[in-house]
Structures are given as C-alpha cells and as structure tokens.
Amino acid sequence: MPELQGDDAGQAHFDAVIARDSRIEPTDWMPADYRHALIRQMSQHAHSEIIGMQPEANWITRAPSLKRKAILMAKVQDEAGHGLYLYSATETLGITRDEMTAQLLAGKARYSSIFNYPAVTWADMGAIGWMVDGAAITNQVPLCRASYGPYARAMVRICKEESFHQRQGFEILLELSHGTPGQKAMAQDAVNRWYGPSLMMFGPPDTDSPNSQQSMAWNIKRFSNDELRSRFVGMLAEQAKVLGLELPDPAVRLNPDTGKWEHGPLDWDEFKNVLAGRGPCNAQRMERRRAAHDGGAWVREAAAAYAAKQAARAAQEVA
C-alpha cells in the first residue's frame, strides 16, 4: 500500500488520535470543520466568561460585608481569568483575540444566554453561584477530557475555580435560608427565577441539538445535553434539601427505572428569544462591553507601545 501523504496522512493521524482518545495539539493536522467547531465553541465560551462578569460586578459595591465583597471580587476576577485562558487557547487555532473581540462587539458571536438575565437582589449572588456556576461545572468537568489539548488543559484549572464559585453561592443561600423569614423568602425567590434559565444552559433537548452528535464523535463533547441536565437536576435536588429551599418544579424526581433525574417542561421559546437578543439585559450587556472596550483602548495602546520598546531594545542588544 502506498504511504499516505498530505491531507490523507493528516486525516489518518487525526482519526487514530481520536480513536485512542488522545489529544490533538495546535501543530497537528486537523479537519477544517473540527477547527471551526472548536473556534466557535471556545470563543463563545471565552465571551461568556467575560460577559458573565457583569451580573455579579453589579453587586460588588453593595455586598453586605467586607468578607462578602472580597469573595465576590475574587470570583469576578476569576471569570476574567477564565476568559483570558480561553481566548489564548482559541488563538492556537489560528484566530486572533482582536478578531474574536470584533465578532463579539459586532453581535456576530454568541455568549451564554444565561448572562442576559438581571441580578436583582443579593440572593441572586447565591443563586448564580450555586446554579449558574454549578451548571457550568457539570458542563465543564467532561471538557477536561476534550480532544483538543489546549482546551482540555484550560478546563482543568477553570473547573477548580468554578467549584469555589459554586461553594460560595451555596454558602450565601445557606446563610440567607437560615436567616430571617424575609431573607429566606429572598433566597427562595432567587432560586425560583434562576432555576429554568440554569437548566437551559445545557442547550436544547437532544432531539433538537444538531451539532451534538458530531461534537461527540470528535470527543469534544462527552455527554448529551439532556444527560448533563439530568445530572445537574439531581445535584440541585439533593443540595436544596440541605439549603431548606424548594426547587420550583414539582416534576423533579429520580426515575427508579432509568436511574436518571427528571424535570418538568422548560420554556424553550423564552430560550430562543433570549438567544436571539430579546432577553431582559442583552442590550445592556453589549453596551457595557463596548464601553469597557473603548474605555480600555489606552491600556492596549500603552501595552503595545511598551512591547514595541522592549522588542527594539532586545534587538539592539543582539546587534
């Protein structure tokens, strides 16, 4: 048999790496569709981390104590860090951070629709940490084994930080639910509002998720949307008991026949509306991001001028 060359050899190598569940690295040959799917998923993920700073940053100046403020600041800074790891990891696929930022600011790139909901009370900091970061972990732990090396490695560190985020949210709700009746009601109200949107973070039902199968064949995605959603509901149901709070869904149950957690219907029309830009905070989130980008222009210019000066100095020393 003649030796494979060019793309054929590349494809054969790629297929073998995927078949033995190993990692593809930036310098390896990869199919164009694989590269594009990763750029799409990873840049959306990076944008979500950065836009996701906004609902919580909103509460930093109003945190009820110095301790809470310090924790919340650390958490929001972690999210900025997650965005940076992910932008860097995505750049290894041949797109620049400037291009990704331009796509976000032009409204061409998506970010997770969950961040288009408002954080209206302090209890939302608890519900976001417990449910939104909790859903993120459920989604992201399997991504630590994603076939693209830089993505998988970024996820390992991100997941460690996400588990702190989830714990701090749980702890806020625990304290409120054991506080005054008013505080407990505030915690319950936040859980009621974030429940549906957090379940929808896993994406549409499997029957309506066209890209999932290819993504699973490439070992990027390991479990289906519905499978992950079911695991997440199970985690919420058990932890809600400890919190002394109710999930606003009487259909939640562990099906003894399938061993899977089930939940009631979700409002997929709302999901599609928010995704299409008609959520409660879409316009505000994008406006704030654009203002932050414009306001930060001088920092980027200064950093570029400094880097140029350093490079010129280094070149002079060599000469």
Q: How far apart are CA 31 and CA 194, in angstroms?
A: 38
Q: Which is nearer to Fe ion, 18 or 131 (CB)?
A: 131
- Rounded CA separation 261/253 (Å): 6
Q: Among candidates 37, 89, 12, which has minimal Cα distance to 215?
A: 37
Distance CA 254, CA 260 (A): 6
- Asked if 79 is part of the footprint of Fe ion (rule: CB under 5 A), the reply reads yes
Angle at 283 between CA 280 and CA 284, to 5 degrees: 85
Assigned token pair, 144: 């630590």
Q: Which stretch binds Fe ion (CB under 5 A): 42-50, 120-128, 219-227, 249-257?
A: 42-50
Q: Residue 148's beta-bridge partner residues?
A: 24
Question: Which of the 8 DSSP states describes residue 24?
Answer: B
Instruction: Give whichever of 133 and 249 is closer to Fe ion, judged by the CB atom.
Output: 133
Please report how close the Cβ of residue 180 comes to Fe ion at its closest, in angstroms.
28
| Residue 34 half-sphere exposure toward CB, CA atoms < 13 A | 21
Q: Smallest distance, Å, CB 140 to Fe ion?
A: 8
- The distance of closest approach from Cβ of residue 133 to Fe ion in the complex, given in angstroms and rounded to an integer, is 4
Least distance in Å: CB of 49 to Fe ion?
Answer: 5
User: What whole-number distance in Å separates Cα of residue 167 and Cα of residue 299?
Assistant: 34
Nearest to 252 by CA among 239, 242, 243: 239
Binding part of the chain for Fe ion, among 5-13, 160-168, 222-230, 235-243 by CB under 5 A, reads 160-168
Q: How far is the CB of 92 from Fe ion (least distance, A)?
A: 20
Q: Which stretch binds Fe ion (CB under 5 A): 88-96, 162-170, 182-190, 277-285?
A: 162-170
The yes or no reply on residue 82 touching Fe ion (CB under 5 A) is yes
Segment 247 to 266, residues that bind Fe ion, using CB under 5 A? none
Q: Of the ranges 76-84, 104-112, 180-188, 272-280, which one interacts with Fe ion (CB under 5 A)?
A: 76-84
* Least distance CB 273 / Fe ion (angstroms): 25
User: E strands within 53-164?
Assistant: none
By CB under 5 A, residue 133 contacts Fe ion: yes
H/E stretch holding 253: strand 253-254
Of 27-35, 72-80, 84-92, 259-267, which segment contacts Fe ion by CB under 5 A? Answer: 72-80
The residue among 56 and 249 lying less far from Fe ion, judged by its C-beta, is 56
User: Taking CB under 5 A as the rule, does residue 68 contact Fe ion?
Assistant: no
Among positions 45, 47, 165, 184, the unique one binding Fe ion when judged by CB under 5 A: 165
Residue type, 245: L
The token duo for 306 is 């400094």
- Please return the burial class of 260, using the count of CB atoms within 10 Å of its CB with bins 0-12, 13-18 and 19+: middle
91 near Fe ion, judged by CB under 5 A = no
Q: What is the SS3 assignment for 97?
A: helix
Could you say which residues in the range 11-40 bind Fe ion, by CB under 5 A? none
Stretch in the footprint of Fe ion (CB under 5 A) among 159-167, 218-226, 256-264, 311-319: 159-167
Pairwise CA distance, residues 171 & 27, whole Å: 44
- According to CB under 5 A, which residues from 100 to 119 bind Fe ion? none
Q: Which residues bind Fe ion (CB under 5 A)?
A: 49, 79, 82, 133, 162, 165
